[in-house]
Amino acid sequence: MDEKIEQPQGLEVRTYFVRGRNALVARADFGELFVDYYLHQGQIGRQNPPAEDTMIKEALAALTLHCASRPRNETTAWTIHFTNPLVNLFVTGDNNRGTVVGQLFIEDVKDDGRNLFMGDTVRGGMDPRRSVVELNGADVFSGVERFYALSEQRPARLLRHGDEDFVMVSAQPDCDMAWFDALDDAAIRAMDQSETLTLLEKRYYRWECGCNEGRMMDILSSTMKQDADALFGDEPVIRMSCPRCGARYMIRREAMEAHIAVK
């Protein structure tokens, strides 16, 4: 009797090497991931404005393609701040778990007059690394490309193969830069026929935060220990949102006290 082969779960991202051009291509159709994103938005009762909604989806797509091009023991978080529109985009991906998640902040966002890209990376047991790059405009893909040029110190391009089918091309040593700089969406759609692509690997990513009430209480623990009354006031319950995905939690004071007691 044949054994049943378990199929990988989640969004499939394929990476290719472009022979003769010395470039790495990462590609995925993000329809499945965006469905999970919208299901999550429905669960937390949130609907983002259309323009800003497009921005967070582009950030999720770019982050996922970036992760698929990086070592398997690496975790990445990007915070992208734009002043017009005034938003913060937060996206993070964990290659160990094969997960991505993020959220859009449009309320109480501080305007410091600059567009900024902040990238945080942790690989294995190494110390975290942070890079901060000032951006010229409010286009997500252009912002990621600028971050690559200044922080990763190698060029990258983000292009569209379809409405929800995105491609990242990153230059490797001795890349054909004339070809690279001339790439556009039409060239990407013709790449299967015009170039020799060698499949390197397939990776799978799913929308998952991993937050729960216990982790939310961990976030509140230091404040609770210092001044519980300032945290709760006269209320028996406080409401908080996960800073990674926006999921909402109601934390009871008695549960928080019990949580602190066992730590």
Cα Rg for the chain, rounded, in angstroms?
21
Q: What is the pLDDT of residues 36-52, one digit of tens each?
A: 999 999 999 999 999 99
Q: Which of 54-63, 86-95, 124-133 has the lowest mean pLDDT?
A: 124-133
Encode pLDDT of 214-247 as tens digits.
Answer: 999 999 999 998 888 888 988 899 999 999 999 9
pTM: predicted TM-score of the whole model, two decimal places: 0.92
CATH number of 11-207: 3.55.30.10
User: Is residue 262 helix, strand or coil?
Assistant: coil
- One fold for 11-207 and 213-261: no
What's the confidence (pLDDT) of residue 252? Answer: 93
Residue 131 has pLDDT above 60, yes or no: yes
- Give the number of C-alpha atoms closer than 13 A to the C-alpha of residue 6, restricted to the C-beta side: 3
- Of 7, 23, 26, which is closest to residue 15 (Cα–Cα)? 26
- Spatial separation of the C-alpha atoms in residues 66 and 51, rounded to whole Å: 23
Quote helix, strand, coil % in the chain, to nearest 5: 35, 35, 30
Degrees (nearest 5) of the Cα angle 208, 127, 260? 60
pLDDT > 90: percent of the chain: 84
Predicted local distance difference test score (pLDDT) of residue 262: 79
Q: For tokens 């779960």, name the residue.
A: 9
Residue type, 50: P
Domain boundaries, the chain: 11-207, 213-261
Specify the CATH number of the domain 213-261.
3.90.1280.10
Bridge partner list, 79: 90, 118
Residue 5 has pLDDT above 80, yes or no: no
Q: Which amino acid is at 4?
A: K
Q: Is the pLDDT of residue 135 over 60?
A: yes
- Helices and strands (DSSP H and E) totals, the chain: 9, 12
